[in-house]
Amino acid sequence: MKRYVVLVSAVLLFLSLLVCPGSVSAAPYYEGKIITIVVGYGPGGGYDRIARIVAKHLPKHIPGKPTILVQNMPGADSMIAANYLYNIAKPDGFTIGAFNRGLVFAQLLKADGVKFDLTKYAWIGSAAIESSVLVLRTDLPYKTIDDVAKTKSTIMLGCTGPADSSGQFPLFQKELLGYNFKFVTYPSSADIMLAVERKEVDGRGATYSSVKPLIDRGVVRPLIRGRVVEPGIENLPIDEDLAKDKKAKTLMAMRSAPDRIGRPYVAPPRTPAAAMKILTEAFAKAAKDPALQEDAAKNKMAVEYVPAGEVQKVLQYILNQPPDMVKEFAKYIKF
């Protein structure tokens, strides 16, 4: 009888060791080392998929070819991961992380649970640009954003909640441009897509990359975009250009600013400059790697490196807004 116990325990123990990533030890060089990418979301989503592509291709560009592991740390819209990276992870260059681009709003609005200052991370940069678009069903009579502006009937839009800034992109048009929108909150992005298919809602605000499959299939059509642009939607009108006063323009610009840092990558504050130099250079090179680009294209994602300096500019722009602007902004985006 004991044989069974020993055998089964051994097998199970072995398997469980395989699946629980261990901790990383500190050492001066990347040779034979492990870098962990802490992702603030569960497996399968956009943040996770990009991290796994990065993990696959980044080692080639780092001297010493370390192994890169992805560790999912989901929770609180990735704030748990951000807090972990800021307060707990060792600043030794062996832990880096990816979290929600919208966290800057959490910091701006002083949301519960923020235990980080985004400007103080050792920034690697961003792995992608994510433009926000409004898409409406092609079977509806709205061919341009003018048709939307003129219509008397209410347009139903799906979103996933007040913390989803791309989903709330049309909210700014409703409040500041007077468009006739109504919002319905669904549990997930996939549920909105299905609601669009069965004509329960008329469209949604989303990142361009996430709705591209539906645009390609002719189910929906993009009508308006935010300031930040990706190839394919250059000719769409921009929300800021339609705004009449400066306040509205600024609010829209604030909302779209983090789109520029679509997939942020950081290391803990005080990570040694030498390690950061290796990581940022490797990141820039990996983003141009044709093999990585091919993998990304297969995943229907675009990888484009945005350097740390630009990230800081975006953060400063948002975090240095005057208090009355912040107060106004807090009416639309919650965290």
Partner 1 sequence: MFDAFIEGLFMVLQWKALLYLCIGVLLGYAVGILPGLGGGTTLALMLPFIYKMTPGEAFAFLLGMHSVVQTAGDITSILFGIPGEATTVAMIVDGYPMSKKGEAGRALGAGLSASLIGVIIGAVVLLFSVPIVRPLVLSLGSPEMLMVILLGLTCISSLSGKGKRALLLGLLSAGFGFLCSMVGQDRQAGILRFTFGLLYLWNGLPLVPVMVGFFALPEIIDLAIRGTSIAGKIPDGTLTKGVWDGVKDTFNNFWMTVRCSLIGVVIGILPGIGGGVAQWLAYAHATQSAKTKEEAAGFGKGDVRGVIGPGASTGKEGGALIPTVAFGIPGSSAMAILMGAFFILGIIPGPDMLTKYLPLTFSMVWILVIANIITVASSFFMIGHMAKLTLVRGHIMIAFILLLCFIGSYCENNHIGDVVVMLLFGWIGYLMVVYDFPRAPFILAFILGKMAETYYYISTTRYGFDWIYRPKVIAIFGLVILAVLYPFIQNKLKFRKGANA
CB 11 within 8 Å of CB 4:
no
**CB under 8 A: which stretch of 126-134, 137-145, 213-221, 263-271 binds partner 1?**
213-221
31, 197, 241, 281: which one binds partner 1 (CB under 8 A): 197
Sheet holding 95-98, edge to edge: 67-72, 34-39, 95-98, 264-267, 122-126, 306-307
Q: Is 235 in the site for partner 1 (CB under 8 A)?
A: no
Residues between 136 and 175 that touch partner 1 (CB under 8 A): 156, 160-163
Residue 318 CA to residue 251 CA, distance in Å, equals 10
Specify the stretch interacting with partner 1 by CB under 8 A; choose among 39-47, 118-126, 261-269, 312-320.
39-47
Binding segment toward partner 1, per CB under 8 A, in 13-21, 265-273, 311-319, 323-331 = 13-21
Backbone angles phi, psi at 21, to 5 degrees: -60, 135
Please select the residue that binds partner 1; options are 35, 68, 72, 286, rule is CB under 8 A: 72
For partner 1, which stretch binds (CB under 8 A), given 86-94, 118-126, 190-198, 248-256?
190-198
Query: Hey, which residues between 296 and 335 contact partner 1 (CB under 8 A)?
Result: 298-300, 334-335
Does the protein bind partner 1 through residue 43 (CB under 8 A)? Answer: yes
Residues between 119 and 138 with contacts to partner 1, criterion CB under 8 A: none
Check residue 216 for interaction with partner 1 (CB under 8 A). yes
- 3-class secondary structure, 170: helix
Cα separation, 106 vs 319, whole angstroms: 10
Residue 289 sits in the site that holds partner 1 (CB under 8 A): no
- Quickly list H helices, the chain: 2-19, 46-57, 79-83, 103-108, 145-150, 169-177, 189-197, 208-216, 239-242, 246-256, 273-288, 290-298, 308-319, 323-329
Binding track, positions 236-275, relative to partner 1; x by CB under 8 A: ----------------------------------------
- Which residue type does 135 have? V
Choice from 88, 141, 152, 198 touching partner 1 (CB under 8 A)? 198
Answer yes or no whether residue 36 interacts with partner 1 by CB under 8 A: no
Q: Which two tokens stand for residue 70?
A: 């992805």
Among 54, 62, 77, 230, binds partner 1 (CB under 8 A): 77
Beta-bridged to residue 264, according to DSSP, are: 126
Unique residue bearing structure tokens 């560009």:
61
- At 142, phi and psi to the nearest 5? -90, 105
CB atoms within 10 A of CB 281: 13
Q: For residue 131, how far is the Cα from the chain centroid?
A: 11
**What is the C-alpha separation between 205 and 215, in angstroms, rounded?**
13
Q: What is the dihedral of CA 312, 318, 322, 327, to 10 degrees?
A: -150
| Residue 182 in contact with partner 1, rule: CB under 8 A | yes
One of 35, 68, 76, 220 touching partner 1 (CB under 8 A)? 76
Residue 8 within binding range of partner 1, rule CB under 8 A? yes
Contact status, residue 97 vs residue 39, Cβ threshold 8 Å: yes
> Least CB distance from residue 58 to partner 1, whole Å?
13
Q: Find the part of the chain contacting partner 1 (CB under 8 A) among 45-53, 135-143, 237-245, 310-318.
A: 45-53
Contact flags string 85-124 toward partner 1, x per CB under 8 A: ---------------------------xx-----------
Binding site for partner 1 (CB under 8 A): 1-2, 4-5, 8-9, 12-13, 15-16, 19-21, 42-45, 48-49, 52, 56, 71-77, 79-80, 83, 112-113, 156, 160-163, 182-188, 190-191, 193-195, 197-201, 213, 216-217, 295, 298-300, 334-335
